[in-house]
A and B are shown apart, each in its own frame.
Chain A
Amino acid sequence: MRWITLLCTLFAFSALAQAQAQAPDLRGIWEAAGIAYQNIEGTPAQQGRPATKSVVVEPANGKIPYRADSRKTADRNFKDRASTDPLLACFQPGLPRAALLPEPFQIFQSSDRVIIVYQHVHAYRVIFTDGRPHYNEGIEFYMGDSRGRWEGNTLVVDVTNFKPETWLDAAGNFHSEKLHVVERYTRTGPDTMTYEATVDDPEVFERSWKMRISLARHTEAGFQLVEHECERDTRGVFRHPPQFLK
């Protein structure tokens, strides 16, 4: 009888410990709903494409709060985007753009890290959730340096140490190396998740701002990421294979 009591107690304790250690399950293959990748501030209706609302939820007017001189740079980027968008030259997409793209990404989890593999140019992020600190200032990454933590059901990822070259979307919204992104991933259903990004960059924006989109999980049987590798064209310039252009 003593044995049984002891076993039961051990069982109860290990179940409790397990439940406490169990982080929310974000695993699966996800993709942005909507077309915020074109322009975070929304787009007017264009040929074959409906108008879209801004995904900026703060400030309430849906506009990125650029400093006056920075808005001019964004406007120039928009005008020249066909030749100057770094993504068209196959750069790793940076953030939050990677989460907005019309291509799937897969989330893997283990006890001390979350790994996100993006189909887009097979960029990936290893997000430590064990409290280890960021790299020192000046060590820059196209995809930033990501450190995560769990807040209730939400994965919060603090991303710093960005290289300044990437854009935020295809419309030329941009940032400097002072970019600081805080992402929040929250499951809202079996196949849905909210992605929220608070974006700060004192060199480019007057204040921090926040965007929010929905992610949908791919549930097709056998669905998998395929390889998206750029190829050089006849002039030797890196280009995306046509099947990935949207």
Chain B
Amino acid sequence: MKRLALLVLAVIPVIAASGQSEFVPERLSNGHPNFSGIWMAGSLSAAFNVEEHGASYGTPAGPSVIIDPPGGRLPYLPGMRERAADNDQHRERDPVGQCHMHGVPRVMFPPFPLEIRQDGDYVLILSETEHGVRIIPTDGRPFLKDYSSWNGDSRGRWEGDTLVVEVRGLNGRSWLDQAGNFAGPGATIAERFKLTGKDTLDYQVTVENPSVFSRPFTLRVPLRRRPPDVELLEYGCIEGERDAAHMPVEAEKK
């Protein structure tokens, strides 16, 4: 009993010193925090427009989710904002409307749930919409060479309790949001996932592309855990699609 008391006395100061307000996550047997669950963006503002936006037809007003640079505007190079505005006028070009996967980072904040599972050296992210998939190895393997895809090639690593995911091999055709903002071909991406509460997963993503932006920028979209009875359902899009033949084929590749 005396030994137990000593142990308790020894542990208390350690807990106290580790930061009073810091959330202590549930851990897996490998020591990493357990992110597993069904998640969804806490707000759909980013899905509509990552920048601050007023209400418009079919779109509620919302704040910017850009936390850097200060001011919350995308640091487009000259001419690029006009291209985004042109996209906004031609939403039929939106790759998502044409049954393509959202691409990173848009796949992390659609108006549909995500399922995250950790299994050994993998973090798996399933998106209900477009049955999107991201398989993220965390074993230190190198990126694929000459790879081009909607959701990219992801490599994860742990920095303490934060999962850091680097993404390469993006085809650059994805939009960032429904308003036509884009990151273009050659973008490199670094994402940071961290539990800030039992049911809140902080998601920050830094996007870099010197051919489109004057500097890197960072978005922040906190994800919220969905209730335990929520299951991902099957999403169909291409199946039975009868309008595809009438959609602009080349326009989406701009």
Q: Please give the residue numbers on chain A whose beta carbons come within 8 Å of chain B beta carbons, in ascending order.
A: 27, 86, 89-92, 106, 108-110, 115, 117, 121-124, 126, 128, 141-143, 163, 165, 222, 224-227, 229-230, 232-238
Contact B117 A115 (CB under 8 A): yes
Contact B247 A236 (CB under 8 A): yes
Q: In the complex, which residues of chain A have a beta carbon less than 8 angstroms from the beta carbon of B247?
A: 232, 236
Contact A117 B117 (CB under 8 A): no
Contact B135 A225 (CB under 8 A): yes
Q: Name the contact of B117 in the complex, choosing from A110, A122, A141, A163 (C-beta under 8 A).
A: A110
CB distance from B164 to the nearest CB of A (A): 19
Contact A238 B234 (CB under 8 A): no
Contact B135 A106 (CB under 8 A): yes
Q: In the complex, which residues of chain B have a beta carbon less than 8 angstroms from the beta carbon of A27?
A: 119-120
B36 close to chain A: CB less than 8 A: yes
Q: Which of A86, A117, A234 has the most CB of B within 10 A?
A: A117
A92-B236, A225-B135, A226-B147 in contact; A117/B246 too (CB < 8 A)?
Answer: no
Q: In the complex, which residues of chain B have a beta carbon less than 8 angstroms from the beta carbon of A234?
A: 249
Contact A126 B149 (CB under 8 A): no
Give the distance in Å from the alpha carbon of A108 to the alpha carbon of B36 in the complex: 12
Q: Name the contact of B135 in the complex, choosing from A89, A117, A236 (C-beta under 8 A).
A: A117
CB distance from A145 to the nearest CB of B (A): 9
B244 close to chain A: CB less than 8 A: yes
Contact B131 A238 (CB under 8 A): no
Contact A108 B234 (CB under 8 A): no
18 contacts between A and B (CB under 8 A): A90-B238, A91-B238, A92-B234, A108-B119, A115-B117, A117-B135, A121-B131, A124-B131, A126-B115, A222-B141, A224-B135, A224-B137, A224-B144, A227-B149, A229-B101, A229-B150, A233-B249, A236-B245
A89-B238, A226-B147 in contact; A238/B133 too (CB < 8 A)?
Answer: no
Q: In the complex, which residues of chain A have a beta carbon less than 8 angstroms from the beta carbon of B100?
A: 229
Q: Name the contact of A126 in the complex, choosing from B36, B231, B239, B244 (C-beta under 8 A).
A: B231
Q: Work out how many contacts link A and B, with CB atoms closer than 8 A.
A: 89
Give the distance in Å from the alpha carbon of A233 to the alpha carbon of B115 in the complex: 32
Closest to B139 in A: A222
Q: Mark B124-139, 1 if CB is under 8 A from A, else 0.
A: 1010000111010100
CB distance from B60 to the nearest CB of A (A): 30
Give the distance in Å from the alpha carbon of A229 to the alpha carbon of B171 in the complex: 12
Q: In the complex, which residues of chain B have a beta carbon less than 8 angstroms from the beta carbon of A90?
A: 238
Give the distance in Å from the alpha carbon of A225 to the alpha carbon of B232 in the complex: 21
Give the distance in Å from the alpha carbon of A92 to the alpha carbon of B239 in the complex: 8
Please name 8 further chain A to chain B contacts, defined as beta carbons within 8 Å, in addition to the given A108-B124, A123-B131, A238-B99, sorted by A numbering: A27-B119, A122-B101, A126-B231, A225-B135, A227-B150, A227-B151, A232-B249, A237-B245
Give the distance in Å from the alpha carbon of A115 to the alpha carbon of B122 in the complex: 13
Contact A142 B135 (CB under 8 A): no
Q: Name the contact of A235 in the complex, choosing from B115, B133, B233, B245 (C-beta under 8 A).
A: B245
Q: In the complex, which residues of chain A have a beta carbon less than 8 angstroms from the beta carbon of B120?
A: 27
Give the distance in Å from the alpha carbon of A238 to the alpha carbon of B232 in the complex: 25
Q: In the complex, which residues of chain B have a beta carbon less than 8 angstroms from the beta carbon of A108?
A: 117, 119, 122, 124
B241 close to chain A: CB less than 8 A: yes
Contact A126 B141 (CB under 8 A): no
Contact A238 B241 (CB under 8 A): yes
Q: In the complex, which residues of chain A have a beta carbon less than 8 angstroms from the beta carbon of B119?
A: 27, 108-110
B98 close to chain A: CB less than 8 A: yes
The 4 closest A-B pairs by CB, nearest first: A227-B149, A236-B245, A141-B234, A122-B133
Q: In the complex, which residues of chain A have a beta carbon less than 8 angstroms from the beta carbon of B238?
A: 89-91, 121, 230, 238
Closest to B169 in A: A227
Give the distance in Å from the alpha carbon of A235 to the alpha carbon of B231 in the complex: 36
CB distance from A172 to the nearest CB of B (A): 18
Q: Name the contact of B239 in the complex, choosing from A91, A110, A115, A124 (C-beta under 8 A).
A: A91
Q: In the complex, which residues of chain A have a beta carbon less than 8 angstroms from the beta carbon of B245?
A: 235-237
Give the distance in Å from the alpha carbon of A124 to the alpha carbon of B232 in the complex: 10
Closest to B231 in A: A126
